[in-house]
């Protein structure tokens, strides 16, 4: 088969090393010749940020972070950055914290050094998100892509095992959805396959030994690959579903992704045999759905949307909103009927693919 595709690789420096975040951040601040650093971290993440900032001077510590970046919080943070003459944004935390740094960069053009402490992966994409009146808007702008990402698995040790599992499966969702997303290509599929392998290796180790660094390092590495793949391939069926569930019913991000993913895989796999074979190979199993189901079993992963506030009565409305935004590239045509079946199974938590 001939190969024809267009792929864009985003430019970003990645510094990876356990217990090296403070040293790496000091080197980056020097490289940027930054004089006024704004350190962004939620209250819960602030102790981690303080350690990471131990070798630099901080002009402004900022902790007014909220999930899904409410517009009013973004405006307040932008004003604070301007008032303090900030010349470098450093964010230490999960996707919500990275999202706030991106919102400031979107209007100011300030560079970001991102220090992620979950496996959400926002640090490796040029996608921003803002929420206004319960409606989440996302967009793409290269100025929000962090210039540097500093990965340090030690910073993730405090992330509880259940949240680590859900967040890691959010990364897994980036990988699997990248296999059939609108801009899927052989390069982002290769990154996604390696991301599946690394997450499949790392997450069970975290579940078993949450304080061991080896699983944490594999999961962070997999999370980075997953985000690069997703940023390049863009949103497929899975991300469209989760975006609607999160935006309309304010469902928790990582847990929603973790719950919906196996149903999307079971839905698409029979219509996408090449993608399914690659996913299965990455899991080291004969069948892609079995591979993911087995991992979820080992992880005791989030199981049913009804556990996170989604009701059976919400399904019809969700189908109405999701159906028109499903990408034409999706390997299996979606209908109101089969999407209702998918969401009903995810709501109830029945074993995917059976
Ligand atoms: P989050 O950032 O809201 O973090 C979840 C919770 O974990 C928070 O209370 C946080 O303070 C805490 N936490 C983070 N790191 C910790 C640590 N090491 N130890 C203890 N507690 C810690 O959740 P998330 O899942 O990381 O990110 C979700 C958000 O990111 C969503 O808004 C989502 O839309 C966005 N996101 C954006 C992109 C993108 O490309 N733009 C990609 C993925 C996710």
Residue to substitute in 73, 222, 253 for testing ligand 1 pocket (most ligand atoms within 8 angstroms of CB):
253
Closest residue by Cα to residue 189 from 121, 146, 236, 254 = 236
Average pLDDT for residues 202-229, to the nearest whole number?
Answer: 98
- The more confident residue out of 248 and 50 is 50
Asked if residue 111 lies in contact with residue 89, where contact means CB atoms within 8 angstroms, the answer is yes
Average pLDDT for residues 1-22, to the nearest whole number?
Answer: 94
> What class is the 13-156 domain?
alpha beta
> Sorting pLDDT into bands at 50, 70 and 90, what band is 188?
very high
Output the CA 167–ligand 1 centroid distance in Å: 8
* Count of residues making up the chain: 354
Protein residue whose Cα sits closest to atom 7 of ligand 1: 94
Dump pLDDT digits (tens) for 63-72: 999 998 999 9
Ligand 1: atom nearest CA of 96 is 2
C-alpha distances out from residue 129 to 46, 163, 213, Å: 22, 21, 31
- Which residues are near ligand 1 (CB < 6 Å)? 42, 44-45, 48, 67-68, 93-97, 99, 117-118, 120-122, 125, 127, 129, 155-156, 158-159, 163, 167, 170, 253-254
Helix, strand or coil, per DSSP, at residue 130: strand
Ligand 1: atom nearest CA of 157 is 18
Protein residue whose Cα sits closest to atom 19 of ligand 1: 159
Statement: residue 292 has pLDDT above 70:
yes
Protein residue whose Cα sits closest to atom 5 of ligand 1: 94
DSSP state of 287: S
CATH fold match for the domains 13-156 and 159-348: no
Helix, strand or coil, per DSSP, at residue 40: strand
pTM metric for this prediction: 0.96
Question: How many whole angstroms separate alpha carbon 96 and alpha carbon 42?
Answer: 9
Residue 1: its pLDDT value, please?
61
Residue 65: its pLDDT value, please?
98
Ligand 1: atom nearest CA of 138 is 41
> Sorting pLDDT into bands at 50, 70 and 90, what band is 234?
very high
Asked if residue 232 lies in contact with residue 8, where contact means CB atoms within 8 angstroms, the answer is yes
Domain spans of the chain?
Answer: 13-156, 159-348
Residue 270: its pLDDT value, please?
97
Output the CA 335–ligand 1 centroid distance in Å: 32
Question: How many whole angstroms separate alpha carbon 105 and alpha carbon 113?
Answer: 11
Question: How many whole angstroms separate alpha carbon 261 and alpha carbon 250?
Answer: 18
Dump pLDDT digits (tens) for 72-87: 999 999 999 999 999 9
How much is the mean pLDDT over the chain? 97
DSSP state of 139: E
Output the CA 21–ligand 1 centroid distance in Å: 18
Average pLDDT for residues 48-75, to the nearest whole number?
Answer: 97
Arch. (CATH architecture) of 159-348: Up-down Bundle (1.20)
The helix or strand, by DSSP H or E, that contains position 177, with its residue range, turns out to be: helix 161-178
Distance of CA 227 to the CA centre of its chain: 6
């Amino acid at each position: 088969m001939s190969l024809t595709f267009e792929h864009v690789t985003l430019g970003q420096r990645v510094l990876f090393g356990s217990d090296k975040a403070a040293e790496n951040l000091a080197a980056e601040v020097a490289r940027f010749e930054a004089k006024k650093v704004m350190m962004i971290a939620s209250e819960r993440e602030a102790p981690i940020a303080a350690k990471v900032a131990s070798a630099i001077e901080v002009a402004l510590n900022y902790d007014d972070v909220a999930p899904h970046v409410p517009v009013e919080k973004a405006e307040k943070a932008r004003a604070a950055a301007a008032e303090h003459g900030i010349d470098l944004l450093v964010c230490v935390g999960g996707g919500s914290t990275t999202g706030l740094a991106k919102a400031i960069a979107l209007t100011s053009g300030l560079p970001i050094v991102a220090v992620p402490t979950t496996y959400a992966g926002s640090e490796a994409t040029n996608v921003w998100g803002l929420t206004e009146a319960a409606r989440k808007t996302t967009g793409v702008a290269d100025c929000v892509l962090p210039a540097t990402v500093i990965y340090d698995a030690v910073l993730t040790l405090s992330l509880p095992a259940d949240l680590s599992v859900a967040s890691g499966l959010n990364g897994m969702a980036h990988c699997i959805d990248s296999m059939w997303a609108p801009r899927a290509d052989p390069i982002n599929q290769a990154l996604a396959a390696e991301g599946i392998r690394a997450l499949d290796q790392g997450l069970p180790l975290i579940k078993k030994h949450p304080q061991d660094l080896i699983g944490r390092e594999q999961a962070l590495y997999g999370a980075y690959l997953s985000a690069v793949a997703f940023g390049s391939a863009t949103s497929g069926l899975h991300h469209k579903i989760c975006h609607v569930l999160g935006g309309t019913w304010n469902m928790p991000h990582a847990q929603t992704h973790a719950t919906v993913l196996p149903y999307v895989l079971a839905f698409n796999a029979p219509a996408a045999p090449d993608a399914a074979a690659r996913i299965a190979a990455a899991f080291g199993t004969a069948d892609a759905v079995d591979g993911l189901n087995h991992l979820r079993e080992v992880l005791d992963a989030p199981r049913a949307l009804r556990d996170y506030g989604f009701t059976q009565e919400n399904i019809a409305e969700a189908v109405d909103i999701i159906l028109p935004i499903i990408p034409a590239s999706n390997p299996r045509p979606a209908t109101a009927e089969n999407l209702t079946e998918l969401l009903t199974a995810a709501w109830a938590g029945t074993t995917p693919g059976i």
